């Protein structure tokens, strides 16, 4: 295979705002997103040869496409403390967390290592563009895009994930073995979650531009066959119901401050003398039960705002920088007449009906209809403007700009 040193970087396009969900896509081997979700999503694996046709077209026309992010750039990202990175070596197995010094990162020609970089959509536009291809899946399910670069023989061992993942080959070749085995027990004496008994049922070698989709709990093992092998993984989170309910209840508890009736003190003027003083009084139980009925904790609508806020939280490693020279509210409004606002690459926006949550905060509450509409457009289209506002109060839109959650499109 032609060396990546001689290749031209592939430039992935940004997906259109309105995805053609019923039309066939090369990304899924000529079936539509509708068909993919119906036949494969969360059900069975799918191998797609030439999922990104540009790689095959490049070869046909005498040019070779390589990864949009060079090995040198990935090495620099792994040295950045704002990027979550891991270095895995085999023979023997070892696992280290970044950031790393330049000397700690193996050279491309060394074998049996893998460097993993999480959340790359926040750090490189090409990764963000790749993610835009998958917006036919709810944003609430999206985790991030991870880039893996490896020397020959590099991999993380046979394992399984508890979430859906698209494995896109971007540079070099990788051999994939998969199994839908029921035995998912792990080797107890290794620093990684490696399957104790892996029995491959299918085996493929993926070339640049190929893609493999795996639903949760499908065992798989990927081995790099070329130096500088890059695989880009688009992962989708699967929170447990325990996690969702805990977060929903926690935020619901915070909202109790807004219910005046709950500030009343418990009183029991009808409490009689008791010979069982150690028991929780029946009157207290009754009155608490009455208040719980008011809260309607058995109705999902009470829990959904907290769950939506939680799912809109940015990744733990997210870091936001406000503008170095922030515009005044008047200048901000003037800029919006000719420019568009877009979410920072690390910003998450999720809607619950017409209510909008951004980075864990409800941003549409007590806002003008014009501001609410702007947030709804930002959530749906990932951009808003140019627009001339009728009012002077730009509320949470301006506050989010100051926080670095929203930025003007360059």
**Per-residue model confidence as pLDDT tens digits over 256-297:** 887 888 888 999 998 999 999 989 999 999 999 988 888 887
Mean pLDDT of the chain: 94
Q: Could you tell me if 16 and 95 lie in one domain?
A: yes
When pLDDT is averaged across residues 70-91 and rounded to a whole number, the result is 96
For residue 410, the model assigns a pLDDT of 72
The model's pLDDT over 39-51, given as tens digits with 9 standing for 90+, comes to: 999 999 999 999 9
* Separation CA 283–CA 28 (nearest Å): 62
Q: Could you tell me if 114 and 259 lie in one domain?
A: no
* Separation CA 111–CA 90 (nearest Å): 9
Q: Which residues pair with 116 in a beta bridge?
A: 86, 148
The model's pLDDT over 203-212, given as tens digits with 9 standing for 90+, comes to: 999 999 999 9
Residue 27 gets which letter from DSSP?
Answer: G
For 408, the 3-state DSSP assignment is: strand
Q: Could you tell me if 57 and 173 lie in one domain?
A: yes
- The DSSP annotation for 336-379 comes to HTTS-EEE-TT--EEEETTEEEETTEE-STT--HHHHHHHHHHH
When pLDDT is averaged across residues 176-193 and rounded to a whole number, the result is 95
Residue 128 gets which letter from DSSP?
Answer: H
When pLDDT is averaged across residues 17-23 and rounded to a whole number, the result is 95
Rounded percentage of the chain residues whose pLDDT exceeds 70? 99
Q: Could you tell me if 85 and 52 lie in one domain?
A: yes
Across 21-35, 63-77, 295-309, least confident range: 295-309
**189 vs 130, more confident:** 130
End residue of a domain, out of 180, 210, 236: 236
Q: Could you tell me if 206 and 275 lie in one domain?
A: no
**CB contact set of 65 (below 8 Å; sequence gap of 6+):** 7, 8, 9, 10, 54, 55, 58, 208, 209
Pairing of strands 65-66, 46-48: unpaired
Question: 316 lies in a domain?
Answer: no
Q: Could you tell me if 202 and 293 lie in one domain?
A: no
Q: Could you tell me if 245 and 215 lie in one domain?
A: no
- The end-to-end CA distance of the chain, in Å, is 37
Q: Is the pLDDT of residue 215 over 90?
A: yes
Question: 395 lies in a domain?
Answer: yes
| Number of domains making up the chain | 3
Q: Which residues of 59-112 form beta strands (DSSP E)?
A: 65-66, 85-89, 94-97
Q: Is the pLDDT of residue 389 over 50?
A: yes
Band of the pLDDT at 6, cuts 50, 70, 90?
low
Owning domain of residue 146: 4-236
Question: Are 84 and 317 a contacting pair, CB within 8 Å?
Answer: yes
């Amino acid at each position: 295979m032609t060396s990546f040193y001689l290749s031209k970087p592939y430039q992935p396009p940004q997906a259109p705002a309105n995805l053609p969900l019923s039309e066939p896509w090369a990304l899924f081997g000529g079936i539509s997103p509708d068909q993919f979700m119906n036949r494969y999503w969360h059900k069975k694996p799918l191998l797609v040869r030439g999922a990104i046709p540009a790689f095959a077209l490049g070869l046909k026309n005498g040019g070779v496409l390589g990864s949009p992010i060079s090995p040198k750039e990935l090495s620099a990202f792994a040295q950045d403390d704002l990027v979550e990175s891991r270095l895995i070596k085999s023979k023997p197995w070892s696992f280290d967390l970044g950031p790393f010094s330049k000397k700690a990162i193996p050279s491309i020609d060394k074998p049996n290592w893998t460097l993993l970089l999480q959340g790359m959509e926040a750090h490189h536009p090409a990764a963000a563009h790749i993610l835009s291809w998958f917006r036919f899946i709810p944003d609430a399910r999206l985790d991030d895009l991870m880039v893996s670069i490896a020397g020959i023989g590099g991999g993380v061992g046979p394992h399984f994930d508890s979430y859906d993942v698209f494995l896109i080959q971007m540079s070099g070749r990788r051999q994939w073995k998969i199994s839908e085995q029921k035995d998912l027990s792990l080797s107890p004496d290794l620093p990684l979650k490696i399957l104790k008994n892996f029995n491959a049922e299918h085996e493929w070698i993926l070339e640049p531009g190929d893609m493999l989709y795996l639903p949760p709990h499908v065992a798989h093992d990927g081995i790099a066959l070329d130096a500088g092998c890059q695989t880009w993984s688009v992962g989708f989170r699967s929170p447990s119901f325990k996690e969702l309910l805990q977060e929903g209840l926690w935020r619901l508890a915070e909202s109790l401050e807004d219910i005046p009736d709950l500030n009343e003190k418990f009183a029991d003027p009808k409490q009689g003398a008791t010979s069982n003083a150690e028991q929780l009084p029946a009157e207290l139980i009754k009155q608490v039960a009455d208040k719980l009925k008011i809260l309607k904790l058995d109705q999902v609508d009470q829990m959904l705002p907290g769950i939506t806020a939680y799912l809109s939280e940015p990744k733990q490693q997210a870091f936001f920088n406000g503008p170095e020279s922030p515009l005044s509210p008047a200048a901000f409004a003037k800029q919006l007449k000719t420019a568009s606002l877009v979410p920072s690459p690390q910003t998450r926006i999720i809607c619950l009906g017409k209510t909008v949550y951004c980075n864990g905060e409800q941003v549409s509450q007590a806002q003008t209809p014009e501001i609410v509409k702007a947030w709804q457009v930002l959530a749906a289209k990932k951009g808003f403007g140019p627009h001339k506002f009728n009012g002077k109060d730009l509320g949470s839109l301006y506050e989010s700009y100051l926080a670095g959650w929203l930025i003007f499109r360059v």
